[in-house]
Structure 1
Amino acid sequence: MEVDFWEEVAITGEGDKWYPPTPASNSKIWRYRSLDRYLSILDGESLWFARADEVGDQYEGSLPELTFRRWVSKLAKLRIDYQSVFRYLQLMSHLNCWHENTSESFAMWDIYLENNCGVAIVSTPSRVKNALQINEGEYLTGKVNYIDYTEGDFNIDSTVTPFFHKRESFQHEREYRILYRQGEDAYDDDGMKTEDFGENIPEGIPVSIDIGTLIEEVVISPGGDDEFREEVVDETRARGFEFPINHSKLTGTPLF
């Protein structure tokens, strides 16, 4: 199968009639990282966008049962193989994920830190959009919807919809997501071919970003002591960045 499909799968345009819900532009979003991964963001001045099939959830980009049946029927009328279309969308969609919350989360620290020491990068949706150094038409941001995939359903008029829905068991993530799709020129000149499309797309893409604009604050993990904070401060300042670096607010001593 060979299809020139690019207008159908664009991030924006007539083919996409659905957009994810968006939080307030000044809402707090958090990205929990080990020290090494935090420093790699600073050194590369980029965010890592993982290909959708590499983020660790086998349902990523898939459809609820009701939606699936309707979509298969729609594509069958167009004589399009739904498995190839699904694979195209999954391979060309790259994701960068944040946790939206008014405050830091014990659960997120536990999930994303291999030991007690790490940091949380604090930003806002407005900062993310101003900091990203890619074509505005190649990415989309918004909140993930969590639904029951056995009984739930959603609009199929958009190719981005599957990537802003997840199963209810992931609700604790409160995910704010950036979906990035490179333009046609990033792949080959002959359009998309089932037999070799996957070979042309890396498992992840570093996307350039203005670090000073992106980061509002860095928070030290609850298990990070003064020595660890000093290390984070020294490494950050040595790279020329001056944003605030503060201790976690989860480490206080009760009054009783």
Structure 2
Amino acid sequence: MYIPNSNIKLPENPDTVVWKYLDLSKFLDILLSGKMFMSRSDKFEDQYEGTFSEPTFEEIKKISQNNPKFLDYYKSHRENVVVSSWHTNEYESFAMWQIFTKNNEGLAIQSTIGRLKEALQKERHFEQYIGEVNYIDYKKEYIPFDDAFFPFLFKRKSFQYEREIRVISDVTAHNFSINDGLKIQVDINTLIEKIYIHPKSENWYKKLVIELVERLGFDFEIEKSDLESDILI
């Protein structure tokens, strides 16, 4: 269940469109399990995930002089924060297809901020928050540490193209031992508004995706990619 947090920014319009680009195996896992994977924050490719900008680190070092455990807590905290990443965009993104899918195969789930909020189911041990990622200069800009999520909603400016919205949870208080991440319950029919199949995929692949979705009893719209449109001359 989504929990509002006044410290976390989020687009106000519930109809703001969000996307998740993924391969077929991950998509089928969502459909079959009714769960969405959230990755451990220190397992992302970007090694700066959950770390501090230089001005923030300097302030934290001063605090840690009298309380060494303060810095140790933030170092270990990355292992207890899990994230599901979504891309904000009115239209599908050619760049996202290239980055998150391979071999001209894959899918994009289209949803909205409102659907994402509504789709999250109440978890017994922890709560989910949704926040907009801020892109800053890590050498110059300060990251305020208002709450436990502060470093996890900031990234370097070189990642601005991601336009990321995050579902984020902290399992610190529950002594979970998580490897790469964990799965959370979601309402599939609420979460998924439409599906787009990779614009360069073969016809057999498109037919396979359509048949799998039908056989599993789902009826959400499967759209032709806008990047596949006919050339007009």
**TM-score, structure 1 normalization:** 0.83
> How many Å separate the matches in 1 of 2:52 and 2:209?
42
Cross-structure match for 2:169: 180
**Higher deviation after alignment, 231-240 or 67-76:** 67-76
Cross-structure match for 2:92: 104
Cross-structure match for 1:123: 111
Question: Partner letter of residue 209 of structure 1?
Answer: V
Cα 1:110/1:144, change in 2 over 3 Å:
same
The Cα of 1:222 is off from its aligned counterpart by 0.8
> How many Å separate the matches in 2 of 1:139 and 1:18?
14
Question: Partner letter of residue 174 of structure 1?
Answer: R
Query: Which residue of the other structure, out of 138, 147, 150, is the alignment partner of 1:149?
Result: 138
Query: Which residue of the other structure, out of 208, 227, 230, is the alignment partner of 2:204?
Result: 227
> How many Å separate the matches in 1 of 2:60 and 2:148?
11
Cross-structure match for 1:113: 101
The Cα of 1:255 is off from its aligned counterpart by 1.5
Cross-structure match for 1:132: 120
1:24 aligns with 2:13: yes
The Cα of 1:74 is off from its aligned counterpart by 2.6
**2:20 touches 2:108 (CA, 8 Å); kept in 1?**
yes
Q: Deviations over 1:105-147 (max 9, x none)?
A: 0000000111112110011111111111134962211110000
1:49 aligns with 2:26: no
What are structure 1's unaligned runs of at least 5 residues?
1-10, 188-199
What secondary structure, in the 3-state scheme, does the structure 2 residue paired with 1:90 have?
A: helix
Cross-structure match for 1:166: 155
> How many Å separate the matches in 2 of 1:244 and 1:107?
23
What secondary structure, in the 3-state scheme, does the structure 2 residue paired with 1:146 have?
A: strand
The Cα of 1:23 is off from its aligned counterpart by 5.0
Q: Which has the larger radius of gyration?
A: 1
> How many Å separate the matches in 1 of 2:156 and 2:201?
33
Cα 1:159/1:126, change in 2 over 3 Å:
same
**2:49 touches 2:152 (CA, 8 Å); kept in 1?**
yes
User: Identity over the aligned pairs, expressed in percent?
Assistant: 33
What are structure 2's unaligned runs of at least 5 residues?
none
1:215 aligns with 2:192: yes
1:240 aligns with 2:217: yes
**1:146 touches 1:171 (CA, 8 Å); kept in 2?**
yes
The Cα of 1:247 is off from its aligned counterpart by 1.0
Q: Deviations over 1:181-222 (max 9, x none)?
A: 2362343xxxxxxxxxxxx33321011111011000001111
**Paired residue total:** 231
Cα 1:96/1:107, change in 2 over 3 Å:
same
Question: Partner letter of residue 46 of structure 2?
Answer: D
**2:8 touches 2:132 (CA, 8 Å); kept in 1?**
no
Q: Deviations over 1:157-178 (max 9, x none)?
A: 2221110000011111111111
